[in-house]
Structure 1
Amino acid sequence: MAGLLSDTFMDQLESWIGTGPKIFTMLYKITRDGCDPTTFHQKCDNQAPTVTVLYNQQDSVYGGYVSSHWNSNNAWIQDANAFLFQLKYSGSNKYTKFPINDKTYTLFGGLSNGPTFGQGHDLFTFRNTIYSSGGYFALNGHMNFKSYNNQDVTADQVNNGTMNVTELEVYSVTDGQRKKTPTPPPQPWRKTPDWNERFLEKLTEDIVSFKPSGELGQSDVRILMLGPVGTGKSSFYNTINSVFKGRISQRAPCGVAPQGITIAYTPFDVILCSGSKLNFRLCDTRGIQLTQEFDMVECNYLLEGNIPEFYEFNPLAPISPDNPGFVQQPKLSEKIHCVLFVIDGATVNDIPPKLVKKINSFQRIVNRKGIPQAVLLTKVDLVCLEVASKISNVFTSKKIESSVDKVSGLLGLPRNNIFPVKNYENEMELDDNISILALLALRQLLHFAEDYIENLQVKTSALKLSSQRLAKGDNSEKSSDFVKE
């Protein structure tokens, strides 16, 4: 039966012991050998140095190291090199070493005791035989720092205030280079094909060939980008445009300003080097500000296509049907087919509740219209150092996954509607990994818009059929009346 002490924890213990590489060999394990003092002493006496490790139900790991021998003489054992330690607390690694203060009372070799450290005792594991119950051992010992320096940590902050453990192990510690268990590669929390030039070409081809269904007379789809000032709405358009331009492009003005750079409703298209336009538009808008309220009527106009292109928003005078240029009867192609909320990934844990409330209020309008929604999680390189060093690590990063989970909960959207990206901001040349991440998001947004248009087609067909049936019903009634007369 293998031990639970990981290579990472062994490395930390090696560092604390401070005398070079060590080999850890399991001597005693209560789930295998029983929680019994006699068995402990049979297996561990005269085996110094040793490490005792306890694991509890709260996912904390702690214990003690001794360079002296355990014995059964019912007497104190001195050891100036001994220390207690914690390696994990409530699921998070926490490395704390508690050195011995009074070596006179380092260990107690009690015949009826399991591993016992310090006077008082600092760490007393168990006395007599303990049987497992309910998946754990209710040890009858305790923790009470006295002979060891507690480093301003209480016993409860080490063992969670309980001596109930799921495992207790004792290892002999000998000099030598141990063979470490190979670390398995991290498993992606979102699977994608291998990131390479061919995958980039495939994404590019899929987006270039995208064309909405022609049954409703659609030429392209519109994706509305909405988010706080400075989150990277305009930069995302520039990133997409750069990919298809084959160079860094900045058609959409970017920069830092208190009120944001974008003040107008601007549908940006993407033009290939050949001169042909792609069949979608990324629609930029004024950034959301905490100090300004949403005008829900204006938001509705925006979704319905009533607001003219390049209209400059004025929070003090929202647009109305009386405004020059107001689109009274917008075409389907002028309406919004997908809403993309853009959020700064580096500030996910500090999003003001008032901002979330504003976005949620806008979501209610979007939901009533059945328009698909997604989130662009920008600046992922600032969230995780591993991603900053290599963008393709984005879907194995636990920090990015945690940010996705957080946004999913705040906005009530599925996790696969949330797309991490890094925009082109500091780069002077294109980077395949940055481009792949952006195109992955864009391709899915186009799929969402396509699904929405298909739903509209189904509704339109159903309404048309219903109208035809009503018309036939009216004619039948008129014919019946004529016959009666």
Structure 2
Amino acid sequence: MGNYSSKPTMPPSPPAASKELKDPWRPVKWSEKQELLKELEHLKPRLEPLRILVQGPVGAGKSCFINTVQRVLLGRNVSIALESSTTAIQGESFTLSFNPRGPIAKDDKRYNPRPSPGDRIHCLVNIVPADAISRLDDSVIDKMRTIRKKASEWSIPQVIVLTKVDNACEIVSQDLRKLYHSKKVKDKVEVSSHKLGIPLNNIYPMKNYHAEITEDTNVDVLILMALRDIVNFANDYVESMYESSDCIQS
């Protein structure tokens, strides 16, 4: 009776999974830049300078990270630190340094078999690109893990700075304050933790200054959060060396 269609009614398609979390998986106070700067300014390390070893694959953003740190601390644009540079960059109470060459040989006249606390590395910073972490060659990861293993033998604290988050996630590219709401960035943090064996709470996703010539407070806050912890980890390590019974006083 009547002209009714016999075609079955299709159920509605399920909504696409959201790429953004309702609540951040790590809280950030985006207005605390001055407080973070004061924390670093008032830090009185046991040893000066603190020495930070930076390692990472070519193009990961090592030099950009160093430049960004300098820029945030100085409050102005800075000249470029080249990836091949072996010169230490001095801060008020710490040093960011890296050397792309291999380990020094024991028969080298400069080799120091009994380094003082001031001669040692106090924190290892692994620079990893968020937009390429899954595609990094195994040989690169193996080299980084070898250095990390040696650092672990000396109980040197280690962190990952996960750069280029804006390239890895469109949401973050549009609004950096969405960083810790991004499922994609959270996944990248977990992948980098798995590949290098470093705990999640020692991984700091961020954006470096690159082409920008003006200040971005959101970039600054992320850098300062990471830098505060790196400097404190390094200082804690120095304190532990001085407290150790086999420590050689400088």
**TM norm. shorter chain > 0.5:** yes
- CA-to-aligned-CA distance 1:398-427 (integer Å, 9 cap, x gap): 111111111111112110100111111010
Number of the residue aligned with 2:26: 190
- The aligned runs of 1:349-388 (5 Å cut-off) are 349-388=134-173
Deviation at residue 80 of structure 1 after TM alignment = 5.6
Query: C-alpha distance in 1, partners of 2:119/2:63?
Result: 20
Structure 2 residue corresponding to 1:266, chosen from 79, 83, 87: 87
Deviation at residue 352 of structure 1 after TM alignment = 2.1
| C-alpha contact 1:233 1:284 (8 A) present in aligned 2 | no
Number of the residue aligned with 1:87: 14
| C-alpha contact 1:234 1:284 (8 A) present in aligned 2 | no
- Considering only aligned residues, what root-mean-square deviation do their CA atoms show, in Å? 2.7
Query: C-alpha distance in 1, partners of 2:217/2:33?
Result: 7
Number of the residue aligned with 1:18: none
Number of the residue aligned with 1:204: 37
Name stretches of at least 5 consecutive residues in structure 1 with no aligned partner.
1-76, 94-183, 254-260, 271-277, 288-294, 302-318, 465-485
Query: C-alpha distance in 2, partners of 1:453/1:385?
Result: 40
Question: Does residue 1:280 correspond to 2:94, yes or no?
Answer: yes
SS of the residue aligned with 1:451?
helix
> Counterpart amino acid of 1:322?
D
> Counterpart amino acid of 1:282?
L
Number of the residue aligned with 2:77: 248
Deviation at residue 333 of structure 1 after TM alignment = 1.4
Query: C-alpha distance in 1, partners of 2:177/2:107?
Result: 48
Deviation at residue 364 of structure 1 after TM alignment = 1.7
Query: C-alpha distance in 2, partners of 1:391/1:414?
Result: 23
Number of the residue aligned with 1:395: 180
Count of residues paired in the alignment = 245
Name stretches of at least 5 consecutive residues in structure 2 with no aligned partner.
none
Query: C-alpha distance in 1, partners of 2:123/2:107?
Result: 24
Number of the residue aligned with 2:195: 410
Question: Does residue 1:332 correspond to 2:120, yes or no?
Answer: no
- The aligned runs of 1:219-258 (5 Å cut-off) are 219-253=48-82
Structure 2 residue corresponding to 1:425, chosen from 207, 210, 227: 210
| C-alpha contact 1:225 1:233 (8 A) present in aligned 2 | yes
- CA-to-aligned-CA distance 1:305-338 (integer Å, 9 cap, x gap): xxxxxxxxxxxxxx55335x55565432121000
Query: C-alpha distance in 1, partners of 2:114/2:190?
Result: 40
SS of the residue aligned with 1:222?
strand
Deviation at residue 81 of structure 1 after TM alignment = 8.5
Q: Which runs of 4+ in 1 moved over 4 A?
A: 325-329
Query: C-alpha distance in 1, partners of 2:60/2:21?
Result: 32
SS of the residue aligned with 2:212?
coil
Deviation at residue 79 of structure 1 after TM alignment = 4.5
Q: Which has the higher contact order (CA 8 A, sep 6+)?
A: 2
Greater helix proportion: 2
> Counterpart amino acid of 2:44?
K
Larger radius of gyration: 1
Query: C-alpha distance in 1, partners of 2:146/2:55?
Result: 13
Deviation at residue 351 of structure 1 after TM alignment = 2.2
Deviation at residue 454 of structure 1 after TM alignment = 2.1
Greater strand proportion: 1
Deviation at residue 82 of structure 1 after TM alignment = 3.7
What is the TM-score with the length of structure 2 in the denominator?
0.88
> Counterpart amino acid of 2:163?
T
| C-alpha contact 1:248 1:424 (8 A) present in aligned 2 | no
Deviation at residue 353 of structure 1 after TM alignment = 2.3
Deviation at residue 459 of structure 1 after TM alignment = 1.1
Query: C-alpha distance in 2, partners of 1:203/1:343?
Result: 24
Cα distance change, pair 219–229 in 1 and its aligned pair in 2 (3 A):
same
| C-alpha contact 1:378 1:423 (8 A) present in aligned 2 | yes
Number of the residue aligned with 1:479: none
What is the TM-score with the length of structure 1 in the denominator?
0.47
Number of the residue aligned with 2:243: 458
Query: C-alpha distance in 1, partners of 2:187/2:41?
Result: 32
Cα distance change, pair 210–251 in 1 and its aligned pair in 2 (3 A):
farther
Number of the residue aligned with 1:9: none
Query: C-alpha distance in 1, partners of 2:111/2:238?
Result: 24
SS of the residue aligned with 1:266?
coil
SS of the residue aligned with 2:48?
coil
Query: C-alpha distance in 2, partners of 1:284/1:242?
Result: 18
